[in-house]
Amino acid sequence: MDQSSTRLLPPETPRDFGFFLDGAYVPAGDREVFLRNSPGHGTPVTRIPKCTTEDLDATVAAARAAFEDRRWSGLSGADRAAVLLKTADILEARTDEIAYWETLENGKPISQSRGEVGGCVSIFRYAAGVARTLHGDSFNNLGDKMFGLVTREPIGVVGLITPWNFPFLILCERVPFILASGCTMVTKPSEVTSATTLILGEILKEAGLPDGCYNVVTGSGSTIGQALTEHMDVDMLSFTGSTAVGRSCLQAAGSNFKKLGLELGGKNPQIVFADSDLEDAADGVAFGIGFNTGQCCVSGARLIVEASIADTFSEMVAAKLKNARVGDPLDEATQIGAITTDAQNDTILGYIAKGREEGAKVVTGGAALDIGQGQYIAPTVFSNVTPDMAIARDEIFGPVLTVMPFETLDEAITIANDTIYGLAASVWTKNIDKALTVTRRVRAGRFWVNTTLSGGPELPIGGFKQSGWGREAGVYGVEEYTQIKSVHIELGKRDPWVE
Ligand code: NDP
């Protein structure tokens, strides 16, 4: 890669990756290979093995062996923390390289990829602390003859399935917590964005993670993903992706009643009151739908705005989006990159066409952009949207914002809650009563007041309703990967049952 200019170049030939088993890469050999094209450039960038079910069994067996012999779970929290801290240091040193492969496979701007790797470094450092503070509870109120303990134990072998929209960030919102808890794991990235998940394997090894604790199996979701979900020797599955596949994971996990963590879709409201700082709100709303080309489960896709300012405010958001720089993701100046998959590109353009058919009005955007060989869509704002329209109800997962006006606070809350999802929401107002009332009554797992899409490892991630089960990150996140055991300890002589 050419590091000297402000515009990096895609590789001349695609890079071959192996899957990661028991601390070492396994080359594709005679397996089929998936050739990934950069969505920003249309050229091939990586070649990823299509693992077989035997490969999957081998990775699960490696994770099982590593768990059972306690090479990781038997270490102190301090020793586990040391590995996580070392991992953070190596990630930091390799930021540019990881960001480059992330951008090539995903299409997101290189500056954003670098920022995300920086976020991952921070998560590993946070999780190192959690490894040391994770603890149970004790009961000293059971009388002089009984003492009670509640211990937390790692749940065992975790299967982790991640999506293509934030391949490395979503991975790193989970891996350090899984490892902090003492579990071992097999992860399956989306087939189209496997590179950085594979690179993490050698980084963890270099940081001192024992072999077998982190394994990566590659291939498609419908084959290897499904098999991992059904696997009889996996104790827990953490899945992030669509609500439809999340539902199929629910059924598949019934094979051995594995515990499930699910982070699924969203159709997240941005509620804007007339008394907000409109300049800040317009910028936040534009960011909330433009960031990562709207391919975020927490994108603010529904603008619910006080009727008195609806037209003016929509124009302000449209003006912001028109000024956002869409283009080559390897260009340092780019703010909005390419659409990650061909299927997603078709889906978004399909919804834009449907919005027009349903009678919504395009305020800005509404078409594909002709930029080089990649696939790009202009950030789009629709007004005249009614709650029954598909563009108002379905998760589009693209840079498409729908505007719906409201007259009263109650009406704003009703519109916000009129969805099967409950992942995230934002409210913009300078009135504390309105801010807190909306925060308390809108059903969503993540909430932002006068900001959006902010976060850090301290606060948990997860959704209400059909947006998922369980929480990732924070103290809550590490606890998800533990089992609770209650222990009764009798002191002194037993009161006999039989005299
Ligand atoms: P999926 O839900 O299909 O993909 C998410 C992950 O699940 C990928 O690793 C995928 O693998 C894997 N997967 C697919 N099928 C199965 C299965 N049967 N069993 C186990 N794992 C499976 O999302 P899509 O990529 O198809 O995107 C479709 C829609 O999902 C988007 O338009 C968006 O609405 C939503 N989505 C939501 C995300 C979120 O963060 N909440 C993230 C991604 C998508 P592979 O990619 O290799 O097939």
* Residue 161, ligand 1, Cβ within 6 A: yes
What is the whole-number distance in angstroms between the Cα of residue 472 and the centre of ligand 1? 18
Amino acid 7: pLDDT: 83
Query: Is residue 2 predicted with pLDDT exceeding 70?
Result: no
Altogether, the residues listed in the chain come to a count of 499
Q: Which of 194, 184, 173 is nearest to 124 (CA)?
A: 173
Q: What is the mean pLDDT of residues 95-112?
A: 98
- Closest residue by Cα to atom 13, ligand 1, is 221
* Residue 225, ligand 1, Cβ within 6 A: yes
Q: Which of 143, 32, 136, 12 is nearest to 77 (CA)?
A: 136
Amino acid 373: pLDDT: 87
Condensed to tens digits (0 to 9), the pLDDT of residues 214-237 reads 999 999 999 999 999 999 999 999
Catalytic residue among 105, 230, 263, 480: 263
Condensed to tens digits (0 to 9), the pLDDT of residues 404-435 reads 999 999 999 999 999 999 999 999 999 999 99
Amino acid 81: pLDDT: 98
| In contact, 283 and 291? CB cutoff 8 Å | no
- What is the Cα–Cα distance from 272 to 452, expressed in whole angstroms? 12
| In contact, 195 and 16? CB cutoff 8 Å | no
Q: Pick from 238, 245, 258, 260 the residue to mutate for probing ligand 1's pocket: most ligand atoms within 8 Å of its CB.
A: 245
What is the whole-number distance in angstroms between the Cα of residue 204 and the centre of ligand 1? 26
Amino acid 158: pLDDT: 98
Among left, alpha and beta (phi > 0; psi -120 to 50; other), residue 452 is beta
- What is the Cα–Cα distance from 327 to 304, expressed in whole angstroms? 29
Angstrom CA distances, 398 to 183, 343, 426, stand at 35, 12, 18
Condensed to tens digits (0 to 9), the pLDDT of residues 29-81 reads 999 999 999 999 999 999 999 999 999 999 999 999 999 999 999 999 999 99
Amino acid 5: pLDDT: 52
What is the whole-number distance in angstroms between the Cα of residue 141 and the centre of ligand 1? 48
Taking the CA atoms of the chain, what radius of gyration do you get in angstroms? 24
Q: For this structure, is 213 an active site residue?
A: no
Ligand 1 atom with least separation from CA of 398: 32
Query: Is residue 3 predicted with pLDDT exceeding 60?
Result: no
Q: Pick from 116, 161, 162, 166 the residue to mutate for probing ligand 1's pocket: most ligand atoms within 8 Å of its CB.
A: 161
| In contact, 216 and 59? CB cutoff 8 Å | yes
SS3 279: helix
Instruction: Report the C-alpha dihedral over residues 425, 430, 431, 432, rounded to 10 degrees.
Output: 70
* Residue 165, ligand 1, Cβ within 6 A: yes
Q: For this structure, is 183 an active site residue?
A: no
What is the whole-number distance in angstroms between the Cα of residue 466 and the centre of ligand 1? 15
Catalytic residue among 102, 249, 297, 480: 297
Query: Is residue 151 predicted with pLDDT exceeding 90?
Result: yes
Q: What are phi and psi of 213, to 5 degrees?
A: -80, -30
Query: Is residue 1 predicted with pLDDT exceeding 70?
Result: no
Strands (E), 157-301: 157-161, 184-188, 214-216, 236-240, 259-263, 269-272
Q: What is the mean pLDDT of residues 101-116?
A: 98
- Strand-pair category, 376-377 with 368-369: antiparallel
Q: What is the mean pLDDT of residues 444-454?
A: 97
Average pLDDT over the chain, rounded to an integer: 97
Q: What is the mean pLDDT of residues 258-276?
A: 98
Go through 468-482 and write b for each residue having 16 or more CB atoms within 10 A of its CB, e for each that does not: bbbbbbbeebbbbbb
What is the whole-number distance in angstroms between the Cα of residue 498 and the centre of ligand 1? 60
Angstrom CA distances, 103 to 9, 19, 180, 344, stand at 11, 20, 28, 17
Residue matched to tokens 């102190």: 76
Structural element, H or E, at residue 465: strand 464-465
* Residue 466, ligand 1, Cβ within 6 A: no
Q: What is the mean pLDDT of residues 386-394?
A: 97
pTM of the model: 0.97
Query: Is residue 441 predicted with pLDDT exceeding 60?
Result: yes
Query: Is residue 4 predicted with pLDDT exceeding 50?
Result: no
